[in-house]
A and B are shown apart, each in its own frame.
Chain A
Amino acid sequence: MAERSFNTEVEDLRLGAGETFTGEGILAITKALLESGVGYVGGYQGAPISHLMDVLADAQDVLDDLGVRFEANASEAAATAMLAASVHYPIRGAVTYKGAVGVNVASDALANLSSSGVNGGALIIVGEDYGEGSSIMQERSHAFAMKSQFWLLDPRPNLPSIVQAVKQGFELSEASNTPVMLMVRIRCCHVTGQFETAENIPPPLTVRDALANPRKDFHRVVLPPMSYAHEKDKVENRWPAAESYIAEHKLNERFGPDGGNVGIILQGGMYNGVIRALQRIGLADLYGQTDVPLFVLNVTYPLVGTEVLEFVEGKKALLVVEEGQPDFIEQTVGSMLFKAGVQTRLMGKDVLPMAGEYTGHVLLDGVTALLKAAAPDMLPSRVRSPNQDAAEVPDLSKTVPTRPPGFCTGCPERPIFAALKIVQHELGEHQITGDIGCHLFAALPPFEIGGSTMGYGLGPASNAAFGAGGEKRAISILGDGGFWHNGLSSSIGNMVFNRSDSVAVIIDNYYSAATGGQDVLSSRASNPTKATNNPISAAVRGVGVTWVREIDRTYDVPRMCDVFREALTTDYQGPKVIIASSECMLNRQRREKPLRNESIKAGRRVKVPRFGVDEDICTGDHACIRLSGCPSLTLKTVEDPLRDDPVAHVDQTCVGCGNCGEVADAAALCPSFYRADIVYNPNKFERWRAGLRARTIRWLQRRREQKVLIFEATE
């Protein structure tokens, strides 16, 4: 089950005509799909579109009632391949991916789909993961739309606009026989707002119906000579059809006065930022009434030349606001102006940065630059000649520490990397590659393990060059999510095939944890609609790995160390696979904590572990933290004038995972850690025994206290 439950949101999916939906953008998209008569949905999870997948997974009843099929696809490529159903059948289908990485994975299927063309509307929802808070490389999906010829929507970031974009996307797709990609930025996915709902529409033709009456059309297959025909069809028919649909239904929007010396062409997603800049200058009001004409591209590919030239007519200068690089839109607009012999000055990446997110400040500067250059009279005097002093604030850049994301409190992956760090201390540094997933946090302090990520499930594959072995063996990390995404074949299978002498560590935390705790094939929970409990070890052995070590409690650091030592030093020459399994602590706590609290309240016996540090034994060298980095293992300044350095301290958020004690043991650190197990509602015998022990211990302590000097505690 996913880390967040969407039971309330599922109810919102049932809202009928004229009701108001209040919530996040990504959930509004989900509702819009059902209102569009979608026949099947799928995708691969990952922020910022995980919630879409999660809410659909929780909404099985609603989908069943409508006859909509939901598939949790193995990867974005698989999700896109599923859209093949819309090639031959007039059924609307939608899939989702996370950002440019999803588009990359999908690109093979995406190119084939675009070549074949579609009959039913095919919509791909991409949570464009760009800018602050992004966890991936900074690239644009735009280039893929250009190379494969599918259409790209980038609607204004408010709920009514994105809901409309879903509906228009399907229509555009059907009108032009082309898949359509709907791009929503991170903050747009999580933006909250309201829209008026419509009735859900059951698909006119369900996938079940289609299965009863199969169809095929040889001309849709991507093989010569059809593939040549597809290319021609794209430019001669589909593209013009798209342009006329876009123009006719006014998918792009114009705001502000018709005339004027200047104008701004912007991606729909930039609309709120541009309006804010104009509001701050005083050229737009709260409701978006603007004095500067805007041409908002809710469709960023293809651009409709007539629309652009009509907007530009009579303007002295034009600003293109296009986030990210390269400047595809600006180049296209430039080419349109040049070919039409228009003399309007084109501004864009000269006053706005080529790279990086277009934040409020960046846009304010860019719009101001446009106006200063081409319409200074529009600017209020305070902008033309600012006379306010800048506020001088002390520089904190050397004081405030960076705070990148990291392993959660009690994470079962922490002891794996602690063990690997300990073993590297003994055997020397090794060549290590990482993969995509929570385990990538090991690349940061305090572990600093793994120097590359080449793609989801490609950890072991990215060590292939070192597969022949040598003085030391290469190590690669792979998560259970990545393993099932494509790691089994691309990474593990190929280690077997190429007789690789490397070590692969598969981290099995029972979920696709980084994307929000969705189930995967090897998850241990029973899931009513999915087949779980398929062990990774069986799959690994099935593709021919014979050296397999399974650890079912990663917190056993000495054991982890032993297995690493064995893998790195054994005489065995083939691929060595270590499967380290323990449940994701975030998910475990979410499941167990409420039950535990309930039990304590009900008077049942419950044992709760937590760790502590004896502060007078801790010497403040922080070696334990260098093998942990746990948020609950922190520092405390002691009020002892003889001590210079803060001591280790375990705060009350500790979940008692055991890493601290295990690491103290495995690395022979220091004796200051202890684990306290609090037994709530102990039974009578336990209480009697504890009392007896305590009294005896107290007697012994008093006996000693009488013989020596006792100093009052100064605390």
Chain B
Amino acid sequence: MSSPQSFPLAHEDSGGLDGVIKLAIMAVGGQGGGVLTGWIEALARTRGYACQATSVAGVAQRTGATIYYIEMARTGPSQPVFALAPAEGDVDILIAAELMEAGRAIMRGFVTPDRTTLIASTHRALAVSEKIAPGDGIADASEVHAAAEVAASRFISFDMERLATENGSVISAALFGALAASECLPFPRRSYEDAIRSGKTGVEASLRAFNAGFAACSFGNVPAPPGEAQFQSVPGISGPKNLCERWENLASKVDDLPESARPLAMAGLRKVVEFMDLDYGEDYLGRLAPFASSDTGVDDHALTKAATKYIANAMAYDDVIRTADLKTRGSRATRIAREMDASPDDVLLVTEFLHPRAEEIVGLLPDGLGRRIERDARKLAWIDRWFGKGRRLRSDRLGPFILLYLLGGLKLYRRRTRRHAAEQLHIDRWLRRALEVAAKNSALATEVLCCRRLIKGYSDTHARGISKFDKILGLVERVESRPDAADWVRRLREAALKEEGSEELDQVTEAIERL
């Protein structure tokens, strides 16, 4: 958070505005803000209030941020003069149909501590700018929560989107329920329900979501926000007895590591064993050991923790075999049926979109043969022509399923593949470099390990990741002798994760070269 912004408090007590209720709805186009506005208007008019609503329809609304604005007052000697748009410091009730829209309302001064009740759904509809970053570009929700606590006179928030979906309706109904429960408007609950009933479609579902929103709000029955990610450090396992015994034995070695690194190491061990076998798990712990022993314990064993995480990710690389294995597991079919909300009476057809390129095919070949083909551009092109095309496999059918099933069963053969050899070489070089650095600068070694985060995706994306990774590792030498070396590497990595291109990465690189 940078410098705090300030808004003037409305400089009147109530001026000539006794009895006017000002309500703004901040929504994302397509969320049903118009329906909610219609309900509120109908509600006010049937309760003998004069009411006026405005909105901005059209292209300006399509999936973009939009505002609906409503004013109402008890009917008097003549028609009241209402404003057509919300004004800073002058909104009584602000309904935000999404968390960042609540943030936008606060930013624009529509939420002020002297008067505004903020009713916000805590769910997120991510903006395009948050989604396109190659890393984690999601805006920090806690900042909006913190600001709302300061800016609003009352802050009512919970995940109304989930509540609405669970009741087969849309968010506008849940928001309407929360508005009713907030008792900001001088109308009884029954009149809200009547307003919904006066609509034409989806009355029953809307009423269910309305009731759920009302209950969640008035009885403090607010579903808890998802807490910190909890993971089981020791997963339950099953399998042949001998394998289980070996696993127990292997898992017990994790106890040799610093305590704070153990949960991560256990997850890492599980990942590599699942990827290949117990021997590979053995290799994993072997690769981890030198980092644990050269770790001085700085920063709560940051070096060991980084090693457990990124060595596991590097060893369980994404290849055809892993993809085929994951696509043919029993748990997957269950998950898809659940996600698609399919009942047992429905039939589910599943189509996979695969586009293996020559590189992936060659990666599956034995190392020697693969290496020879890689060197021959003509052969590579030939393979690409015959095999490297988009394939749509109906994995609910037996033929395609068995093809994937057989590919997924090649785990033990994998050790002999070209891809495996290449990956191991790359891992060893990277870890060697990290260990060299660790002897002198533990923080820098941690950063070198963390750079593995850049390598992800498939084909072009993977290649771009590798090139950024190599570029940063190449720059380590330049900064190695500096006390702030770790900082520089972190900056390089963060820049690389921000965008698909490398504009920002190049800027940091230039800065380093000027040092």
Contact = CB atoms under 8 A, between A and B. Distances in A.
B58 A693 contact: no
A501 B146 CA distance: 57
A445 interface: yes
B212 interface: no
B355 A668 contact: yes
B85 A359 contact: yes
Interface stretch (B180-188, B342-350, B507-515): B342-350
B230 A674 contact: no
Interface in A659-711: 660-661, 664-671, 673-680, 682, 686-687, 690, 693-694, 696-698, 700-702, 704-711
A393 interface: yes
22 contacts: A48-B57, A133-B61, A135-B59, A288-B81, A390-B7, A391-B151, A394-B4, A394-B143, A403-B101, A404-B64, A641-B263, A661-B351, A668-B357, A668-B460, A669-B457, A671-B354, A674-B327, A674-B352, A678-B340, A706-B240, A709-B247, A710-B238
Interface in A247-296: 271-273, 275-276, 278-288
B420 interface: no
B386 interface: no
Given A188-B84, A399-B103, A446-B132, A47 B59 contact: yes
Residue in B10, B126, B143, B273 whose Cβ sees the most chain A Cβ within 10 Å: B126
Interface in A388-426: 388-408
A393 B6 contact: yes
A617 B318 contact: yes
Contact of A619 (B17, B271, B457): B457
B57 A360 contact: no
Interface in A632-678: 633-635, 637, 639-646, 652, 660-661, 664-671, 673-678
A629 to B, nearest CB: 5
Contact of B127 (A402, A616, A623, A674): A402
A186 interface: yes
Given A393-B147, A619-B458, 10 more contacts: A51-B57, A271-B81, A273-B84, A282-B15, A287-B76, A393-B151, A515-B58, A676-B342, A677-B350, A679-B348
Contacts of A383: 11-12
Contacts of B87: 276, 359-361, 364
A516 interface: yes
A399 B124 CA distance: 13
A191 B56 CA distance: 9
A635 B11 contact: no
Contacts of A389: 9
B89 A642 contact: no
B213 interface: no
Contacts of B81: 158, 271-272, 275-276, 279, 284, 286-288
B247 to A, nearest CB: 6
Contacts of A186: 56
B73 interface: yes
B359 to A, nearest CB: 10
A66 interface: no
A190 interface: yes
Contacts of B65: 403
B131 A610 contact: no
Contacts of A399: 103, 139-140, 143-144
Interface string A545-557: 0000000000000
A612 interface: yes
Contacts of A211: none
A6 B103 CA distance: 35
A599 interface: no
A280 B237 CA distance: 68
Given A390-B8, A438-B62, A671-B458, A711 B270 contact: yes
A660 B5 CA distance: 41
Given A403-B65, A641-B309, A391 B113 contact: yes
Interface of A: 22, 46-48, 50-51, 132-135, 157-158, 160, 185-188, 190-193, 271-273, 275-276, 278-288, 359-361, 364, 380, 382-383, 386, 388-408, 438, 441, 444-446, 514-516, 558, 607, 610, 612, 614, 616-617, 619-623, 625-626, 629, 631, 633-635, 637, 639-646, 652, 660-661, 664-671, 673-680, 682, 686-687, 690, 693-694, 696-698, 700-702, 704-714
A196 B465 CA distance: 67
A644 B135 contact: yes
Contacts of B405: 700, 704
Interface string B310-350: 00110000100011001111111100100111100111111
Contacts of B401: 693, 697, 700
A625 B346 CA distance: 30
Contact of A393 (B90, B106, B318): B106
B497 to A, nearest CB: 8
A197 to B, nearest CB: 16
B237 A669 contact: no
Contacts of B458: 619, 668-671
Interface string B57-96: 1111111111101000100111111111111111000000
A50 B58 contact: yes
Interface in B230-284: 230-232, 235-240, 243-244, 247, 263-264, 267-268, 270-271, 273-274, 278
Residue in B84, B113, B278, B328 whose Cβ sees the most chain A Cβ within 10 Å: B84
Contacts, number: 453
A612 B79 contact: no
Residue in A132, A158, A399, A675 whose Cβ sees the most chain B Cβ within 10 Å: A399
Contacts of A438: 59, 62
A697 B59 CA distance: 48
A558 B19 CA distance: 61
Contacts of B33: none
A134 to B, nearest CB: 7
B483 interface: no
A134 B58 CA distance: 9
A280 B90 contact: yes
A707 B274 CA distance: 12
Contacts of B117: none
Nearest to A650: B339
Given A364-B87, A406-B128, A710-B237, A279 B348 contact: no
Nearest to A157: B84
A235 to B, nearest CB: 36
Contact of B147 (A191, A396, A669, A686): A396
Contacts of B63: 403, 405-408, 631
Pick the 10 closest A-B CB pairs, nearest first: A360-B87, A47-B58, A133-B56, A405-B64, A665-B390, A619-B456, A621-B457, A401-B127, A712-B236, A400-B103
B15 A690 contact: no
B370 interface: no
A669 B461 contact: yes
Nearest to A390: B6
A435 to B, nearest CB: 13
A24 to B, nearest CB: 9
A580 B365 CA distance: 42
Contacts of A693: 396-398, 401
A403 B127 contact: yes
Contact of A279 (B17, B79, B89, B345): B17
B340 A610 contact: yes
Residue in A393, A514, A706 whose Cβ sees the most chain B Cβ within 10 Å: A393
Contacts of A640: 229, 231, 267
Contacts of B88: 359-361
B328 A701 contact: yes
Contacts of A660: 353
A276 B87 CA distance: 10
A240 B217 CA distance: 64
B136 A621 contact: no
Contacts of A361: 87-89, 109
A327 B111 CA distance: 33
Contacts of B263: 641
Contacts of B447: none
